[in-house]
C-alpha cells in the first residue's frame, strides 16, 4: 500500500558530500563532488548537504558550484554557531534555486564544556546565530549536536529557542551512535509534544552507526513523527558511518504495509550511485552490505537456489531491478566500439564526456587485449582506476619487478612527477615492498601505510586485481584504489593515487590555515 498524502512524505537529506566525506581517507575531488551531486539530484534526493564552506577554499568552491548546477534539490551548507561561518555558508549557497543554511552547536554537557559556554550563554548564542541565518535565508536548519546525550529539559529549551529564532527544520543528531530505536522514537515524540511551535517545523533525524543501529534508529524516529532522514550513500561516514540512504529508501518501500511513508527517490538509480561513491571515495562496499552489497542478491545455499528457481519471492523480498541491478554480464570485448562502451558505462552509472570517453576507451582496449572476457565488474574497476588513481601530480609511467625464491626482490620504477620523468631501482622484502620503497625514494614523504588490501574483481587467472591503499601523515588520511591484471602494477598505481590525494589534503590544510589567519 502506498500512501499519497503529503504528511506521509519523508524527505531524504543526503550528506555524503559533507559528513560522508569526513570519513578518514574519503576525500573527493571537485569534479567528483559535482558528479555525485548531479546523480543525487537526478535520483530525487530532497536536500543535498554539499559541504562545510568555511573549512577551506576548496570546500567553498565545491558548495558554490553544486548550488549553481543543482536543479531540483535544496542545496545546504553547514555552519558552526558564529556569524563568520553562517555568512560564508550563505555566500556559497545563495545562488541555488533552493538554498538552505544548516547551523549547529554541541548541546550535551561534554560539548558545552569544550565550548566553555554555560547553558544560558549557549542559549543566547543559539538565538543570535539562528536569527542571523534566518535574516539571510528563509530556509534554516538547526541541530543540537550530540542531542541524544543532552539533558531532556535543556534539549526542550534550546529547540524552543531555535524555533522562535526562525529555524524551519530542527534536526536531532545522534552524533556518536549512542541511542537505540525506542529511545530515538521517544525523543522525537517528546519534542513534538512539548516544544512550543513544534507543529510549524520539520523534525529530522541524523544517526550514526557506532552500535549498528543507525537505520533502525532513523526509521523509529520517522514512526514517531520525524519527516526528514539524514543519510549517506553506502552509509559512508565517520567511524562506523551514517544511516545508509539505500536502506532507508528500500525499507520504506518494501515494508510500506507497516511504515506507510514515501520518499521521492528513484530507487532504480541506487546501484549506480552506490558504485560511483565507492569508486570516488576509495571505500569498497562490503559484500554482505544490505541492498548494494555484491552478495545482496546472490544465493549459494542449495535450498535457497531451489526456492529461487521455483519462485524468486521465496528468498527475495525485493527485485534486483528495483535498485537498478541488471542481469547483464559478459557483453564487452576487444571488438566493441566506443559507442557500445559509452552505452554500457551509462547503464553502470557513468556519464562520460567525449574527452573522458577517449581516455577510458584506450584503457578498455588495453584491458580487453589482456582479458578474454570483460565483465561489468571489470568496467566498474576500470572506472575506479581512472578516477581514483589516474589524476594528480605523480603518475606511474614504467614498472618492472624481479621476484622469486632465489632472486633479489627489486623494482625498477619510473614516475612522472609534475611533468618530469624520474627513475629509480630499489630492493625490498618482496615485490610490493620494493615498489613502495621506490615510490618513497622518488617522492620523499613520512606517510605511514595504514591499509593495503587486494581482492580479485572477477574469477579466473586473468582477473583484474583491485588494490586499496590508505596513507596517514600528521593526522591526514588519504585512500585510493587501482585495478590491473598485474597486482604489482595495481599496487603502485593505488599507492601513487593515495599519495596524490595526500598532497591535495596538505594544500587544503594550508589554504584553511591561511584563510583563518
DSSP assignment of 226-250 equals: --EEEEBGGG--STT-B-BHHHHHH
Confidence of residue 178 (pLDDT cuts 50, 70, 90): very high
Q: How many other β-carbons are positioned within 10 Å of the β-carbon of residue 166?
A: 18
Q: Is there a domain that residue 234 lies in?
A: yes
More confident residue, 400 or 102: 102
Nearest to 159 by CA among 173, 149, 171, 148: 171
Neighbours of 308 (CB within 10 A): 16
- In the predicted structure, residue 2 carries a pLDDT above the cut 50: no
pLDDT of 348 > 80? The answer is no
Q: Which residues contact 243 (CB under 8 A, 6 or more apart)?
A: 205, 206, 207, 208, 209, 214, 215, 217, 218, 229, 230, 231, 232, 235
> Coil, strand or helix: which one is 358?
helix
Residue at 409 is within a domain: yes
CA separation, residue 322 to residues 41, 262, 311, 425 (Å): 19, 15, 17, 52
In a shared domain, residues 367 and 469 = no
Mean pLDDT of all residues in the chain? 88
Determine the angle formed by the axes of helices 487-516 and 376-388, rounding to 10 degrees: 40
Residue that terminates a domain, selected from 281, 308, 337:
281
Looking at the fold, whether 127 and 164 belong to one and the same domain comes out as yes
Handedness of CA 397, 400, 401, 407 (dihedral sign): negative
* pLDDT surpasses 70 at 394: yes
Would you say residue 420 lies in a domain?
yes
Contact 465, 487 (CB under 8 A): yes
3-state secondary structure (DSSP) of residue 348: coil
Identify the pLDDT of residue 418.
87
Q: Where are the alpha helices (DSSP H) in 168-326?
A: 181-194, 214-223, 245-254, 270-281, 302-310
pLDDT exceeds 90 at position 317: no
Do 393 and 431 sit in the same domain of this protein? Answer: yes
The pLDDT value recorded for residue 21 is: 86
Position 480 scores a pLDDT of 84
Annotated binding-site members: 19, 206, 208, 242
Is residue 305 predicted with pLDDT exceeding 80? Answer: no
- Beta bridge partners, 202, equal 169
Is residue 228's pLDDT more than 50?
Answer: yes
Beta-bridge mates of residue 427: 410
Domain of 306? Answer: 287-317
> What is the per-residue pLDDT for 330?
43
Residues listed for the chain: 517
For residue 93, tell me if it sits in a domain. yes
Residue 508 has pLDDT above 70, yes or no: no
Q: Do 167 and 226 fall into the same domain?
A: yes
Q: Identify whether residues 370 and 478 lie together within a single domain.
A: no
239 with 343, same domain?
A: no
Q: If you average pLDDT over residues 489-510, what whole number do you get?
A: 83
Of 7-16, 273-282, 368-377, 451-460, which range is least confident?
A: 368-377
Three-state SS at 74:
strand
CATH number at residue 276: 3.20.20.70
Residue 16 has a pLDDT of 97
Q: Does 159 lie in the same domain as 45? A: yes
- Please give the pLDDT value at position 239: 92
Per-residue model confidence (pLDDT) at position 186: 98
pLDDT of amino acid 514 = 45
Q: Are residues 354 and 443 in the same domain?
A: no
Tell me the C-alpha to C-alpha distance, in Å, between residue 9 and each of 207, 226, 246.
19, 10, 16
Does 486 fall in a domain?
A: yes
Domain count, the chain: 4
> Domain ends where: 386, 404, 438?
386
Task: Please compute the mean of the pLDDT values over residues 359-375 and round it to a whole number.
Answer: 82
What is the structure's pLDDT at 307? 44
Residue 282: pLDDT band (50, 70, 90) is confident
pLDDT at 352: 82
- Please report whether residue 142 resides in a domain: yes
Same domain, 449 and 334: no
Q: Which residue, chain included where needed, has cell 549557497?
A: 93
- Predicted local distance difference test score (pLDDT) of residue 511: 53
Instruction: Name the residue with higher pLDDT: 500 or 50.
Output: 50
**For residue 328, is pLDDT > 50?**
no
Q: Would you list which residues are annotated within the binding site for Mn(2+)? A: 19, 206, 208, 242
Q: Give domain status of residue 2, yes or no.
A: no
**pTM of structure:** 0.80
- Would residue 338 count as lying in a domain? yes
Claim to verify: residue 409 and residue 379 sit in the same structural domain: no
Between CA 298 and CA 441 the distance in angstroms is 45
Q: Are residues 306 and 372 in the same domain?
A: no
Q: Using the 3D structure, point to which of 343, 362, 386 is the last residue of a domain.
A: 386
Window from 163-167, 203-207, 288-292 with minimum mean pLDDT: 288-292
CA pair distance 90, 279, nearest whole angstrom? 30
Report the C-alpha gap between 209 and 239 in whole angstroms.
8
Query: Which residues, in sequence order, are CB contacts of 138 under 8 Å at separation 6+?
Result: 168
Give yes or no for a contact between 171 and 205, defined as CB atoms under 8 angstroms apart.
yes
Query: 369: which DSSP letter?
Result: H
3-state secondary structure 4-49: CCHHHECEEEECCCCCHHHCCECCCCHHHHHHHHHHHHHHCCCEEE
Q: With 80 as the cut, is the pLDDT of residue 233 above it?
A: yes
Based on the domain organization, do 295 and 277 belong to the same domain?
no
CA distances from 315 to 211, 257, 301, 319, 458 (A): 27, 19, 11, 10, 25
Residue 300's pLDDT band (cuts 50, 70, 90): very low
Task: Give the mean model confidence (pLDDT) for residues 239-246.
Answer: 96
Amino acid at each position: 500500500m502506498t500512501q499519497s498524502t503529503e504528511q506521509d512524505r519523508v524527505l531524504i537529506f543526503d550528506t555524503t558530500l559533507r559528513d560522508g566525506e569526513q570519513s578518514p581517507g574519503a576525500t573527493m575531488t571537485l569534479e567528483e563532488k559535482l558528479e555525485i551531486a548531479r546523480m543525487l539530484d537526478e535520483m530525487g534526493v530532497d536536500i543535498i548537504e554539499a559541504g562545510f564552506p568555511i573549512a577551506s577554499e576548496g570546500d567553498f568552491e565545491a558548495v558554490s558550484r553544486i548550488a549553481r548546477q543543482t536543479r531540483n534539490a535544496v542545496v545546504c551548507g553547514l555552519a558552526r554557531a558564529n556569524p563568520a561561518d553562517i555568512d560564508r555558508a550563505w555566500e556559497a549557497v545563495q545562488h541555488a534555486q533552493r538554498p538552505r543554511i544548516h547551523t549547529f552547536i554541541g548541546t550535551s554537557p561534554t560539548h558545552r564544556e569544550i565550548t566553555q559556554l554555560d547553558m544560558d550563554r549557549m542559549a543566547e548564542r543559539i538565538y543570535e546565530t539562528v536569527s542571523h541565518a534566518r535574516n539571510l535565508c528563509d530556509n534554516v536548519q538547526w541541530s543540537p549536536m550530540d542531542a541524544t546525550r543532552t539533558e531532556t529539559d535543556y534539549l526542550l529549551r534550546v529547540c524552543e529557542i531555535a524555533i522562535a529564532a526562525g529555524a524551519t527544520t530542527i534536526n536531532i543528531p545522534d552524533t556518536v551512535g549512542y541511542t537505540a530505536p525506542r529511545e530515538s522514537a521517544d525523543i522525537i515524540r517528546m519534542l513534538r509534544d512539548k516544544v512550543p511551535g513544534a507543529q510549524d517545523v520539520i523534525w529530522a533525524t541524523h544517526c550514526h552507526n557506532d552500535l549498528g543501529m543507525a537505520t533502525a534508529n532513523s526509521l523509529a524516529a520517522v514512526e514517531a513523527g520525524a519527516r526528514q532522514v539524514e543519510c549517506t550513500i553506502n552509509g559512508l561516514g565517520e567511524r562506523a558511518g551514517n544511516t545508509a540512504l539505500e536502506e532507508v529508501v528500500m525499507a520504506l518501500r518494501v515494508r510500506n504495509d507497516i511504515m506507510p511513508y514515501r520518499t521521492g527517490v528513484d530507487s532504480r538509480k541506487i546501484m549506480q550511485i552506490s558504485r560511483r561513491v565507492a569508486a570516488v571515495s576509495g571505500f569498497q562496499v562490503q559484500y554482505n552490505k544490505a541492498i548494494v552489497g555484491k552478495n545482496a542478491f546472490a544465493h549459494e545455499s542449495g535450498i535457497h537456489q531451489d526456492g529461487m528457481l521455483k519462485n524468486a519471492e521465496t528468498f527475495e523480498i525485493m527485485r534486483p531491478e528495483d535498485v537498478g541491478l541488471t542481469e547483464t554480464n559478459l557483453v564487452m570485448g576487444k571488438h566493441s566500439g566506443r559507442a557500445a562502451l559509452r552505452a554500457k558505462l551509462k547503464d553502470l552509472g557513468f556519464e562520460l564526456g567525449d574527452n573522458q570517453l577517449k581516455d577510458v576507451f584506450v584503457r578498455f582496449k588495453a584491458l580487453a587485449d589482456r582479458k578474454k572476457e570483460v565483465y561489468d565488474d571489470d568496467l566498474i574497476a576500470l572506472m575506479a582506476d581512472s578516477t581514483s588513481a589516474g589524476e594528480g601530480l605523480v603518475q606511474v609511467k614504467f614498472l618492472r619487478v624481479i621476484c622469486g625464491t632465489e632472486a633479489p626482490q627489486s623494482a625498477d620504477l619510473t614516475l612522472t612527477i609534475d611533468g618530469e620523468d624520474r627513475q629509480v631501482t630499489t630492493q625490498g622484502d618482496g615485490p610490493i615492498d620494493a615498489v613502495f620503497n621506490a615510490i618513497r625514494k622518488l617522492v620523499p614523504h613520512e606517510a605511514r601505510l595504514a591499509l593495503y588490501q587486494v581482492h580479485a574483481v572477477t574469477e579466473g587467472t586473468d582477473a583484474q586485481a583491485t588494490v586499496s591503499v590508505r596513507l596517514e601523515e600528521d593526522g591526514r588520511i588519504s585512500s585510493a584504489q587501482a585495478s590491473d591484471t598485474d597486482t604489482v602494477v595495481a599496487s603502485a598505481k593505488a599507492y601513487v593515487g593515495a599519495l596524490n590525494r595526500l598532497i591535495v589534503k596538505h594544500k587544503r590544510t594550508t589554504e584553511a590555515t591561511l584563510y583563518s589567519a
